[in-house]
Amino acid sequence: MPDLRTAIANAVRAERARAQISQDQLAERLGWTRSMVTKTELGQRDIAAHELPGICRALGVTLDRLLVDADPADREALGI
């Protein structure tokens, strides 16, 4: 079972792919470096709760889409 960091990483990566944007494009939308996006998607960087709304806006998804539509194993890690 993945942990919370992995669950969010998987969801961000999946939604970025679904939106058909590159890591560079997501980084630009967030005001991050590409390295930050890469580390986020690999689960090597914690995401602060206050960052989630910006990530959702950058990906064009709602918070529930980002978290609730995650893989079933990831939803368990998220506690939903």
pLDDT digits (tens, 9 = 90+) for 12-66: 999 999 999 999 999 999 999 999 999 999 999 988 989 999 999 999 999 888 8
| Contact of 66 with 73, CB cutoff 8 Å | no
| Residue 80: pLDDT over 80 | no
**Domain ranges across the chain:** 4-78
3.30.300.30, 3.40.50.2000, 1.10.260.40, 3.40.47.10: CATH of 4-78: 1.10.260.40
d(CA 9, CA 7): 5
What's the confidence (pLDDT) of residue 64?
83
Angle subtended at Cα 36 by Cα 33 and Cα 37, rounded to the nearest 5 degrees:
95
